[in-house]
Protein backbone atom coordinates (compact mmCIF):
# COMPACT_ATOMS: atom_id res chain seq x y z
CA UNK A 1 0.00 0.00 0.00
CA UNK A 2 1.38 3.42 -0.86
CA UNK A 3 1.73 6.27 1.64
CA UNK A 4 -1.28 8.15 0.27
CA UNK A 5 -3.60 5.15 0.73
CA UNK A 6 -2.37 4.60 4.28
CA UNK A 7 -2.94 8.27 5.07
CA UNK A 8 -6.54 8.04 3.96
CA UNK A 9 -7.40 5.13 6.23
CA UNK A 10 -5.41 6.12 9.29
CA UNK A 11 -7.65 7.59 11.99
CA UNK A 12 -7.20 11.25 12.82
CA UNK A 13 -5.75 12.25 16.15
CA UNK A 14 -8.08 13.17 18.98
CA UNK A 15 -7.75 16.94 19.35
CA UNK A 16 -9.36 19.07 22.05
CA UNK A 17 -8.92 22.66 23.13
CA UNK A 18 -10.14 23.95 26.45
CA UNK A 19 -9.85 27.38 28.06
CA UNK A 20 -9.06 27.23 31.76
CA UNK A 21 -9.65 30.27 33.94
CA UNK A 22 -6.34 29.86 35.75
CA UNK A 23 -2.77 31.03 35.23
CA UNK A 24 -0.56 28.81 33.10
CA UNK A 25 1.60 27.58 36.00
CA UNK A 26 -1.47 26.43 37.92
CA UNK A 27 -3.05 24.76 34.87
CA UNK A 28 0.15 22.87 34.12
CA UNK A 29 0.63 21.84 37.76
CA UNK A 30 -2.95 20.57 38.11
CA UNK A 31 -2.64 18.57 34.91
CA UNK A 32 0.83 17.14 35.48
CA UNK A 33 1.28 16.88 39.25
CA UNK A 34 -2.28 16.48 40.53
CA UNK A 35 -3.77 14.17 37.89
CA UNK A 36 -5.10 11.82 40.56
CA UNK A 37 -7.29 14.61 41.96
CA UNK A 38 -9.29 15.05 38.76
CA UNK A 39 -8.93 11.74 36.90
CA UNK A 40 -12.18 9.75 36.86
CA UNK A 41 -11.59 6.85 39.27
CA UNK A 42 -13.48 4.39 37.08
CA UNK A 43 -11.03 5.03 34.22
CA UNK A 44 -8.60 2.59 35.78
CA UNK A 45 -6.80 -0.57 34.77
CA UNK A 46 -6.61 -1.82 38.36
CA UNK A 47 -8.77 -4.92 38.76
CA UNK A 48 -8.58 -5.89 42.42
CA UNK A 49 -8.36 -2.50 44.07
CA UNK A 50 -9.62 1.07 43.82
CA UNK A 51 -7.56 3.78 42.13
CA UNK A 52 -6.29 6.36 44.62
CA UNK A 53 -3.85 8.36 42.50
CA UNK A 54 -2.47 8.91 39.01
CA UNK A 55 1.20 9.87 38.89
CA UNK A 56 3.24 11.59 36.19
CA UNK A 57 6.88 11.58 37.25
CA UNK A 58 8.21 15.11 36.57
CA UNK A 59 10.96 14.33 34.07
CA UNK A 60 11.52 12.94 30.60
CA UNK A 61 11.85 9.18 30.99
CA UNK A 62 9.66 9.15 34.11
CA UNK A 63 6.74 6.80 34.63
CA UNK A 64 3.03 7.50 34.13
CA UNK A 65 1.04 5.16 36.33
CA UNK A 66 -1.86 4.72 38.71
CA UNK A 67 -1.74 3.69 42.36
CA UNK A 68 -4.26 1.40 43.97
CA UNK A 69 -5.68 1.53 47.49
CA UNK A 70 -3.66 -1.62 48.27
CA UNK A 71 -0.37 0.18 47.33
CA UNK A 72 -0.25 -1.56 43.95
CA UNK A 73 1.02 0.32 40.89
CA UNK A 74 -0.16 -0.07 37.30
CA UNK A 75 1.91 1.41 34.49
CA UNK A 76 0.11 3.43 31.81
CA UNK A 77 3.17 4.72 29.97
CA UNK A 78 6.08 7.08 30.28
CA UNK A 79 6.97 10.75 30.11
CA UNK A 80 8.49 11.79 26.78
CA UNK A 81 8.80 15.53 27.49
CA UNK A 82 8.23 17.49 30.70
CA UNK A 83 8.52 21.22 30.00
CA UNK A 84 6.64 23.23 32.65
CA UNK A 85 4.54 25.25 32.26
CA UNK A 86 4.19 24.92 28.48
CA UNK A 87 4.27 21.30 27.35
CA UNK A 88 3.82 17.72 28.50
CA UNK A 89 4.20 14.71 26.19
CA UNK A 90 3.27 11.24 27.38
CA UNK A 91 3.61 7.81 25.82
CA UNK A 92 0.23 6.07 26.24
CA UNK A 93 1.21 2.41 26.42
CA UNK A 94 -2.25 0.96 26.93
CA UNK A 95 -3.61 -1.19 24.13
CA UNK A 96 -7.17 -0.94 22.82
CA UNK A 97 -8.07 -3.40 25.60
CA UNK A 98 -6.55 -0.98 28.14
CA UNK A 99 -3.78 -3.41 29.03
CA UNK A 100 -0.26 -2.07 29.58
CA UNK A 101 2.21 -3.18 26.91
CA UNK A 102 5.77 -1.78 27.09
CA UNK A 103 6.16 -2.47 23.35
CA UNK A 104 3.06 -0.47 22.37
CA UNK A 105 2.84 3.33 22.23
CA UNK A 106 0.58 6.15 21.14
CA UNK A 107 1.36 9.77 21.98
CA UNK A 108 -0.51 12.25 24.17
CA UNK A 109 0.70 15.85 23.90
CA UNK A 110 -0.66 18.71 26.00
CA UNK A 111 0.40 22.30 25.30
CA UNK A 112 -0.42 25.21 27.59
CA UNK A 113 -0.67 28.78 26.27
CA UNK A 114 -1.34 31.74 28.56
CA UNK A 115 -3.78 34.32 27.23
CA UNK A 116 -5.19 37.25 29.22
CA UNK A 117 -4.79 35.53 32.59
CA UNK A 118 -6.39 32.30 31.40
CA UNK A 119 -4.75 29.25 29.86
CA UNK A 120 -5.59 27.68 26.53
CA UNK A 121 -4.92 23.95 26.74
CA UNK A 122 -4.31 22.15 23.46
CA UNK A 123 -4.69 18.38 23.79
CA UNK A 124 -3.78 15.80 21.16
CA UNK A 125 -3.76 11.99 21.32
CA UNK A 126 -2.14 10.73 18.12
CA UNK A 127 -0.72 7.60 16.49
CA UNK A 128 -4.04 5.85 17.08
CA UNK A 129 -3.62 3.79 13.91
CA UNK A 130 -1.31 1.65 16.07
CA UNK A 131 -4.47 0.35 17.77
CA UNK A 132 -4.89 -1.94 14.76
CA UNK A 133 -8.06 -3.05 13.01
CA UNK A 134 -10.36 -1.51 15.63
CA UNK A 135 -8.57 1.85 15.69
CA UNK A 136 -11.56 3.89 14.48
CA UNK A 137 -13.93 2.26 16.99
CA UNK A 138 -11.37 2.75 19.77
CA UNK A 139 -10.91 6.39 18.76
CA UNK A 140 -14.64 7.05 18.98
CA UNK A 141 -14.78 5.76 22.56
CA UNK A 142 -11.59 7.53 23.62
CA UNK A 143 -12.71 10.84 22.11
CA UNK A 144 -15.63 11.08 24.54
CA UNK A 145 -13.49 9.83 27.41
CA UNK A 146 -10.84 12.48 26.88
CA UNK A 147 -13.56 15.15 26.60
CA UNK A 148 -14.96 14.12 29.98
CA UNK A 149 -11.50 14.00 31.57
CA UNK A 150 -10.59 17.45 30.26
CA UNK A 151 -13.81 18.82 31.74
CA UNK A 152 -12.83 17.33 35.12
CA UNK A 153 -9.33 18.81 34.78
CA UNK A 154 -10.75 22.26 33.95
CA UNK A 155 -13.04 22.17 37.00
CA UNK A 156 -10.15 21.21 39.28
CA UNK A 157 -7.80 23.84 37.84
CA UNK A 158 -10.43 26.55 38.30
CA UNK A 159 -11.29 25.52 41.86
CA UNK A 160 -10.09 28.21 44.27
Angle between helices 24-33 and 135-158 (to 10 degrees): 120
Q: Which residue segment(s) compose the domain that 13 sits in?
A: 3-158
Query: The CATH number of the domain where 10 resides is what?
Result: 3.30.530.20
pTM of the model: 0.91
Counting the structural domains of the chain, the total is 1
Dihedrals phi, psi of 146, to nearest 5 degrees: -65, -35
pLDDT in tens, the chain (160 residues): 455 544 455 678 999 999 999 999 999 999 999 999 999 999 899 888 999 999 999 999 999 999 999 999 999 999 999 999 999 999 999 998 899 999 999 999 999 999 999 999 999 999 999 988 878 888 888 999 999 999 999 999 999 6
Smallest CA-to-CA distance from 51 within 78, 29, 73 is with: 73
Distance CA 25, CA 134 (A): 37
Amino acid sequence: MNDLAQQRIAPAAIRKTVTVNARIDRAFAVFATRMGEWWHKEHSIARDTTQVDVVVEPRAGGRWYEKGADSSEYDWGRVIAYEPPHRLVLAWQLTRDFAYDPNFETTVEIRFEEQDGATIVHFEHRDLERMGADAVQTLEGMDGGWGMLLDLFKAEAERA
